[in-house]
Amino acid sequence: MSHSLGLYVCDLHVHIGAAGNGKPVKVTASRDLTFAHIAAECVERKGVDLVGIVDCGSPAVIRDIERLLDAGEMVQLTGGGLRYRDQVTVILGSEIETREPGGGISHHVSYFPTLGRLKAFSAEMERHITNPNLSSQACGLSARELCDIALQHEALFIPAHCFTPHKSVYGACAERAADLLGEYWASIPAIELGLSADADLADRLDELADKTFVANSDAHSLPRIAREYNVLELGSPDFAELQQALWRQDGRRVAANFGLDPRLGKYHRTCCEVCRWIARGEPPVLQCEQCGSTNVTRGVLDRIVQIADHDGPQPPAHRAPYQYQVPLQFVPGVGAVVMARLLNRFGSEMAVLHQATHQELGETVGAKVAGLIIQAREGTLPLEPGGGGKYGRALRDGPGQIRLPGL
């Protein structure tokens, strides 16, 4: 019997900074990123219903999960996934780095229905990874080989941040994912867009027409959780329903992606590694416009234009709307004190970004900051594009507008 459907907020790419024993897991992530802190952030500040934690394959993290299960703080759901304190569903994920024979490197996340499947996968990957306790480690396998192993363990396999220049399918490995993944491409329901891309850009590639798009935060700190997220239409917040949504089965679906305007992403435009100039010209820019150097980090926009099948988006009928948002951290004037006031008044960042009225915001943080938050919501806050590892930024004034399609 089918459940009645409801809407759930989901961020499928969050890192663990440190295990319960204090040892690092994701070296570049905040040590505050623990299971307990992630769950609290999702429930108390962000309004997230499902969170994909992508370092669960680490043996140290598996031991933490088992302790939480033994203590009754976490329970395994019949439909897959773990429920933490009956407040948020944890989807067990493992992000791993692959290398192609030609040298290209890409990241992929495998999501598992049960702890048992995750443990079996982790045990097998220990044969391929030098230090399995650390996140996103190189495994020495190709993407096809890793996908084969993941599918044997009933995983959902999703290429991560697909267009970023250093470690992704399109950014570093191939012009077509189908060429890279071969017969496994048909077994992949979705791709992760990454912070510097959006649905309109990705829908210039014909081979992505039958794939679902997900927008995730790739959070390396607690405040970054849900800076990009998805609204899913599900019968219940568990793995089986998530799987159906990504495959668009039985009415389950991704109803909307919420993400940064790509210009705020840190790899949106080509950046010169000599003089640090960020491209401003018509894409694709593959050589520095300022000093002429060809030692550049190619931007996501520039790469997509370079390999696109179409000059503009050709979205399929099933494509979910991509709703642009500027996270409060990017809004000028919103520091820790202002953020605390906003959360105390409105309960979550999502409520501030999408629901609070101009008057209510003004009463809470003053007219100037309230005006900037409303500008961000309406798509009129000027933006300076990012590139070369530097995030774009919102400006108090200047040219540029964010596109903000309706849901």
Other CB atoms within 10 Å distance of the CB of residue 295: 11
The pLDDT of residue 2: 54
Domain count, the chain: 1
Q: Which structural domain, as residue segments, surrounds residue 67?
A: 6-262
Give per-residue pLDDT as tens, 160-176.
Answer: 999 999 899 999 999 99
CB proximity list for 112: less than 8 A, separation 6 or greater: 56, 80, 92, 93, 94, 118, 121, 153, 154, 155, 239
Q: Is residue 140 part of a domain?
A: yes
Give per-residue pLDDT as tens, 292-325.
Answer: 999 999 999 999 999 999 999 999 999 999 998 8
Q: Is residue 355 part of a domain?
A: no
The pLDDT of residue 349: 84
Q: Is residue 56 part of a domain?
A: yes
The pLDDT of residue 404: 35
Q: Is residue 287 part of a domain?
A: no
Q: Is residue 236 part of a domain?
A: yes
Q: Residue 115 sits in a domain of what CATH number?
A: 3.20.20.140
Instruction: Point out the residues of the chain with pLDDT beneath 70.
Output: 1-3, 397-407
Q: Is residue 301 part of a domain?
A: no
Q: Is residue 354 part of a domain?
A: no
| Proportion of the chain in helix, strand, coil states, percent, rounded to 5 | 30, 20, 50
C-alpha 213/C-alpha 319 separation (Å) is: 8
Q: Is residue 374 part of a domain?
A: no
The pLDDT of residue 361: 97
The three-state secondary structure class of 373 is helix
**Integer distance in angstroms from the first to the last C-alpha of the chain?**
29
